Amino acid sequence: MKLTIYGSGCAKCQTLAKNAAAAAQALELDYDLEKITDTNAIIDAGIMRTPALMINDDIVAEGKIPTVDEIRHMLDPS
């Protein structure tokens, strides 16, 4: 599973990255976490507000920081 964090690298982006990693670890998922800080790459991905979280190829959060539990439900809706 690929988790991608889009943002400038600010405190909110770091919190989102920590929450995403904690959620994936809680579900014992095999994942890669990538952080994209390049403005052009963020725009090219269609992100209008940061921080943003993409799971595989789907943007699941934009302009907010979901909690660990919210991300767990995004990763495993069952």
Would you say 5 and 35 are in contact if contact means Cβ atoms under 8 Å apart?
yes
Residue ranges making up the domain that contains 35: 2-75
Query: How many domains does the chain fold into?
Result: 1
Please give the pLDDT value at position 43.
Answer: 96
Cα gap 73→38, rounded to integer Å: 28
Q: Does the pLDDT of residue 3 top 80, yes or no? A: yes
pLDDT band at 77 (very low <50, low <70, confident <90, very high): confident
Distance (Å, whole) CA 51 – CA 63: 5
Render pLDDT for 8-58 as a digit per residue (tens, 0 to 9). Answer: 999 999 999 999 999 999 999 999 999 999 999 999 999 999 999 999 999
Give the domain CATH number at 14.
Answer: 3.40.30.10
Read off the pLDDT of residues 58-75 as tens digits, 9 standing for 90 and up.
Answer: 999 999 999 999 999 999
Task: List active site positions.
Answer: 10, 13
